Amino acid sequence: MDAASKPGLRNLITDVPGLKVGNSHDNFIKTGSTVLVGDAPFTASVHVMGGAPGTRETDLLAPDKTIDQIDALVLSGGSAFGLDACSGVMDGLRRMGRGFPVGLMRIPIVPGAIIFDLINGGNKAWDKNPYHELGRKALSNASHNFSIGTVGAGTGALAAMQKGGLGSASVVLANGYTIGALVVANPIGSVTCENGKHFWAAPFEVNGEFGGRGVNTDPTKLEQAHSPKENAMKVFGTEISNTTIAIIATDAPLSKPQCHRLAVTAHDGMARAIVPSHTPFDGDLIFGVSTSKGIVDHEIFRDLGAAAAVCLSRAIARGVYEATAQENDILPTYKSSQANI
């Protein structure tokens, strides 16, 4: 980050004006949902690079599709069950009078994406899908200030070596525009180097926001041994138990194609912070969001893309760093694992 750039007031995605985030979770199930909602509809697109995504209404975010603006985005645990969180958010927004007008009706446009958190030590024997209610509660909790770590959609998240979590970060650029990231880190890859001490995102850390451990100086092995997460998943006969999903938002005026390109560029930040990322067993995707209508020139967009990647790397590390322990966890938190290093 250059000297003229700095985190926003909260170091959260809500430093982007006009955005709020709400979390809801169930610690008994070890899962939850997170919603990003705007004071007004916002422009959005998406780019998927993982091999096993789980999504709802993301086709309409393609640059060539008719819908230009949406009302909210949902990130949720629960695998395919978690997509019902979008319905809970839709119901809440409709009661608020939000949505695309069709005759006398209003239809809130709420795309979403999910992580797999069905094998994490939580009790999944529900009789009724809980995610509709989790989505509704997340919307009602929407605020400029929100917690990160083991909350919302990050409640049941797991990384390769330790618990994952919900992360967020922001940066205010010298040109005055703000970039914010919101992410659920639940990858098959590792967010820390082999020694478990240093985050891959360490070169981009600001003010010790994820522990200040610095950059790893040990030799890096390209071949990776089976991680604690992989070993735990194999006990249950599955490897398809991952995914990192994120939102990159800005107040810079971007077109829908530019939002798509912002998401594409931000994937660099995911690859820097998670090794490996974008695997066949991850559903890695990023939503790109702009709260302002219009279009910026190529020079400004270049700076936005670079900042988005760095901001996402920081958010991923922050989500894992802030994770907290719960009963029946199958992996330690990053902070607890440092006691033995």
Asked, for residue 134, whether it belongs to a domain, the answer is yes
Residue 228: predicted pLDDT? 78
For residues 290 and 261, what is the distance between their CA atoms, to the nearest angstrom? 12
Beta bridge partners of 179: 171, 250
The predicted-structure confidence for 174-201, as pLDDT tens digits, reads as follows 999 999 999 999 998 999 988 788 999 9
On the question of pLDDT at 226 being above 70, the answer is no
Residue 279: predicted pLDDT? 86
The predicted-structure confidence for 131-178, as pLDDT tens digits, reads as follows 999 999 999 999 999 999 999 999 999 998 999 999 999 999 999 999
Pairing of strands 178-185, 100-102: unpaired
Asked, for residue 94, whether it belongs to a domain, the answer is yes
Supply the pTM of this predicted model: 0.95
Place of tokens 């007008």: 101
Beta bridge partners of 46: 287
Residue 332: predicted pLDDT? 93
Residue 194: predicted pLDDT? 81
Residue 312: predicted pLDDT? 98
Number of domain units in the chain = 1
For residues 249 and 290, what is the distance between their CA atoms, to the nearest angstrom? 6
Asked, for residue 230, whether it belongs to a domain, the answer is yes
Asked, for residue 3, whether it belongs to a domain, the answer is no
Asked, for residue 282, whether it belongs to a domain, the answer is yes
The predicted-structure confidence for 40-81, as pLDDT tens digits, reads as follows 999 999 999 999 899 999 999 999 999 889 999 999 999 999
Query: CATH number of the domain that 215 lies in?
Result: 3.60.70.12
Domain that residue 288 falls in: 13-330
Residues near 147 by beta carbon (within 8 Å), at least 6 away in sequence: 23, 166, 322
For residues 197 and 193, what is the distance between their CA atoms, to the nearest angstrom? 7
Asked, for residue 335, whether it belongs to a domain, the answer is no
Mean pLDDT over each residue of the chain, to the nearest integer? 92
Pairing of strands 69-76, 112-114: parallel
For residues 327 and 28, what is the distance between their CA atoms, to the nearest angstrom? 9
Residue 121: predicted pLDDT? 86
Residue 229: predicted pLDDT? 80
Asked, for residue 192, whether it belongs to a domain, the answer is yes
Contact 245, 114 (CB under 8 A): yes
On the question of pLDDT at 239 being above 80, the answer is no
- 3 state SS for 127-196: CCCCHHHHHHHHHHCCECCCCCECCHHHCCCECCCCECEEEEEEEECCCCCEEEEEEEECCCCECECCCC
For residue 57, what is the DSSP state?
A: S
Residue 305: predicted pLDDT? 97
On the question of pLDDT at 236 being above 90, the answer is no
Residue 241: predicted pLDDT? 67
Asked, for residue 57, whether it belongs to a domain, the answer is yes
The predicted-structure confidence for 255-314, as pLDDT tens digits, reads as follows 999 999 999 999 999 999 999 899 888 889 999 999 999 999 999 999 999 999 999 999
Residue 222 burial class via C-beta count within 10 angstroms: exposed 0-12, middle 13-18, buried 19 and up = exposed
Residue 5: predicted pLDDT? 76
On the question of pLDDT at 223 being above 60, the answer is no
On the question of pLDDT at 222 being above 60, the answer is no
Residue 186: predicted pLDDT? 96
Residue 303: which region, alpha, beta or left (left: phi > 0; alpha: psi -120 to 50)?
alpha
Least trusted range by pLDDT, from 12-21, 82-91, 114-123: 114-123
Which is more confidently placed, 208 or 222? 208
**Mean predicted confidence (pLDDT) in 16-40:** 97
